[in-house]
Structure 1
Amino acid sequence: MKKKIYIVCAALLLVIIAVVGLQKNNEVKNNKSARRNKADKITIGFSFDTFLVDRWKKDRDVFVSKIKDCDSSADVIVKNANGNVERQIDNIEYLIDKKVDVLVIVSIDSEKLKGVIKKAKKENIKIIAYDRLIRDPEVDLYITFDNKQVGKSMARALCNEGLPRKKVLMIAGPKEDNNVSTVEEGFKEVMKENGVEIVDKHYTENWNADDAADYIKNLYEDEEKRKMLESIDGIMCGNDNIATTVITKLSELKLVGKIKVVGQDADLDACQRIVEGIQVMTVYKEVEKLAETAAEYAYKFAKGIKVKITERYKDGDIDYPYVCLETIPVTKKNMEEVIIYSGFHSRDEVYVNGYLDEEISENITE
């Protein structure tokens, strides 16, 4: 009798263990399928580097608007790290705790984000690296502009202006940003083709524009380095925000006009400087298209809709699902066509100080 009781108890115990195991297995499956095949409300997290650069505010607004077009009930939680990578890690952990379905990230330092990315993937959260590469094989999509082409456009614009001494400076963003090295690659390629020497390179920390101004100031205050500064024909600035502080400092040193400056992002003040003849060119990126495309992918990821991405971005041994958008170099000649007609900035904003050439003015049709 005791033996029978033991057998029955053992059998019951096995049944209980099996049931509990099955329940846990179902919970895991249900949790994953809930994220992949969500019929209920979706939540998307967007972690930004900073909003000190005006461009990122446009990305944010367009992205949120597009998500709402796709699903009016969707939640988009936006977090701003103010250029601090530790704060960005905290922001991403907050978004993970909020059980977002997709994380879109403008990374500050992809190496330092690896731990929190791994944590997100354990929660089955899709990861979109927005505009800047996150070096992690678990990234589900890398979406950006053709940054090598950006560097080539900057270099060609300077060469087109004429570089009699064939010497230029580079003042770029931080080395941690993959875009910086890609832009630099394109810039160097064109400069080599044209026999132009890059006499010095400076990398700003966290895209700090004041750092760029300090670099110019330090060159000028050092007797030997001042000779180098005064011998150059142009400066490639990593973005228009950096170009702003560099041009301000050049103005103080009475070097504006003697040294040609290029940037990127088509910031309003850069466009104003271009029509005034103070800055040579900028690079226009269809921010609306980038943000809208990223939003479409984020929505599909969140809803569990199958997405086919054929293009790949190779970085060492890893290749990432990749979406790349083209860029447009902007000078005084095509300011109307690219910036004004697209609605990126209004004519009144750009030509706030006048300077609309007669030749351009004749071609304008209201």
Structure 2
Amino acid sequence: MRRVVIGATAVSMALSIAACGKAGDDDNDSGSSGSDNKSIGLLLPDSVTTRYEKFDRPFFEAKVKELCDDCDVQYANAAADPAKQAQQMSSMVTKGVKVIVVSAQDSAAIKSSIQSAVDKGVKVIAYDRLAQGPVSAYVSFDNVKVGQLQGEALLASLGDKATPKAKVVMINGDDADPNAGQFKAGAHKALDGKVDIAYEQSGLWKDTVAAQKMSAAITQLGAKNIAGVYSANDGMAGGIANTLKGAKISGIPLTGQDAELAGIQRIVAGTQSSTVYKAFKPQADAAAQLAVNLLEGKDIKSLATSEVTSGSGDKVPAQLLTPVSVTKANINDTVIKDKLYTVAEICTAEYAAACKAAGLQ
């Protein structure tokens, strides 16, 4: 898939605080029945990935309220269950929600639900993950670029050890998530021919599964023969890091994604070499702006200036933002500068010494 990347503007991320409902519960913040024309739905895929409840949801809700003070945002989390997400979408349509922003737990399985919603006059925006079906717009990052940044960071960490014979373990995301395939493609673009991808499996976005796959890779390849590990996100990197520690493997590169707090702390401590920071606020703000425009019948061409093709063959207007690679060297200039985390949040007692050595004080 060819994409045109739109550079994200400089971001100042003021962490907004919003009450988060129990994962998987429907949450109608305003108490509205959703029967009027001011209802916008937000469906997020899981509560395991830290970003959705802590950042995406409150940023989205705050931006909608800023743009449309009488709009009602109705929220539900699928808790990693595609069938539950389908039911949540159907429920929102029944309530009269006019625009639904959905980050699909399963991009193919959600297709019929999207078609049914659109048939009833509802506009659907695919958020972060490109859902199949007749969606009106898509907001995400250039996911191939994300994978490429991960691969390049791994090579940079390997330095002169990056040779065609260097054995690298590759733990990808869940194939049900179209982003996973794009991360994988981007990583291969960076790594193929430069190192030997000696073991490659899906970790299903689960730290436990990734840990099991890493253990199998160590058994297959031998602890001393692994030069580095590609992990598609920080959650899985946590499980992989624990497995490496248990096998007494240290000092090898381990990638990640999402700039989760635990991932940043591992980078400071040296047990993870990099992550990819996708600034959540501009993504959530973009989705909110698109949603309000669609709700009010306004044009979105000036916002969604790219086009992508979904797995169902639909041509979808897209707004694509630019990801940033994060290593120990630029933590200050990225997640701290954008106020995603404070130094105090990163540098707890366990990481105090490592933070001092890294210049984070």
Tell me the TM-score range normalised by the shorter chain. 0.7 to 0.9
TM-score, normalization by structure 1: 0.82
In the alignment, structure 1 residue 310 sits paired with structure 2 residue 308 = no
Match in the other structure for 1:85: 82
Count of aligned positions: 315
Q: Which stretches in structure 1 are left out of the alignment for 5+ residues?
A: 1-39
Give distance in 2, aligned partners of 1:315 and 1:98. Answer: 28
Task: Note the alpha carbon deviations across 1:144-168, whole angstroms, 9 max, x for none.
Answer: 0011111111111111122355221
> Letter of the aligned partner of 2:231 in structure 1?
C
Deviation digits for residues 56-91 of structure 1 (CA, Å, limit 9, x no counterpart) = 111011001111111222111111111011111111
**Aligned with 2:287 (options 284, 291, 294):** 294
Letter in 2 for 1:192: D
Q: Deviations over 1:126-177 (max 9, x none)?
A: 11010001122x1100110011111111111111122355221111111111
1:208 maps to: 206
SS at match of 2:329: coil
User: Which residue pairs with 2:248 in the alignment?
Assistant: 254
Q: Which residue of the partner structure matches residue 196 of structure 2? A: 197
Q: Name the amino acid aligned to 1:170.
A: M
How many angstroms apart in 2 are the aligned matches of 1:265 and 1:296?
Answer: 23
Preserved contact between residue 203 and residue 210 of structure 2 (Cα < 8 Å): yes
Which residue of structure 1 lines up, in the alignment, with residue 173 of structure 2?
173
Which one is further off, 303-312 or 179-188? Answer: 303-312
Aligned twin of 1:63 = 60
How many Å separate the matches in 2 of 1:153 and 1:185? 11
Q: Following the alignment from structure 1 to structure 2, what is the Cα–Cα distance between the partners of residues 200 and 359? A: 32
Q: Which moved more, 1:288-297 or 1:317-326?
A: 317-326
Alignment of 1:27-66 (within 5 A): 41-57=37-53, 58-66=55-63
Which one-letter code corresponds to 1:65 in the other structure?
A: A
Larger radius of gyration: 1
1:276 aligned partner: 269
SS, match of residue 262 in structure 1:
coil
Quick check: 287-296 or 211-220, which moved more?
Answer: 211-220
2: distance between equivalents of 1:113 and 1:191?
33
Query: Deviation of residue 356 (structure 1)?
Result: 3.4
**In structure 2, the residue corresponding to 1:313 is in which secondary structure?**
strand
Residue 41 of structure 1 contacts residue 73 of structure 1 at CA under 8 Å; is this kept in 2?
A: no
What is residue 30 of structure 1 aligned with on the other side?
none
Q: Give 1 or 2: higher helix fraction.
A: 1
Q: Distance in 1 between matches of 2:132 and 2:50?
A: 26
Q: CA RMSD in A?
A: 1.8
C-alpha distance in 1 between matches for 2:166 and 2:213: 21
The answer for unaligned runs of 5 or more in structure 2 is: 1-35
Alpha-carbon contact 2:37-2:97 (below 8 Å) kept? no
Match of 2:236 among 226, 235, 242: 242
The answer (yes or no) to whether the contact 1:144–1:290 under 8 Å persists in 2 is yes
1:49 and 1:107 in contact (8 A); partners too = yes
Residue number among 135, 148, 157 corresponding to 2:132 in the alignment:
135
Q: What residue in structure 2 maps to residue 183 of structure 1?
A: 183
**Partner Cα separation in structure 1 for residue 57 and residue 211 of structure 2:** 28
Which secondary structure state, in structure 1, belongs to the residue aligned with residue 328 of structure 2? Answer: coil
Letter in structure 2 aligned against 1:130: Y
* C-alpha displacement of 1:358: 6.0
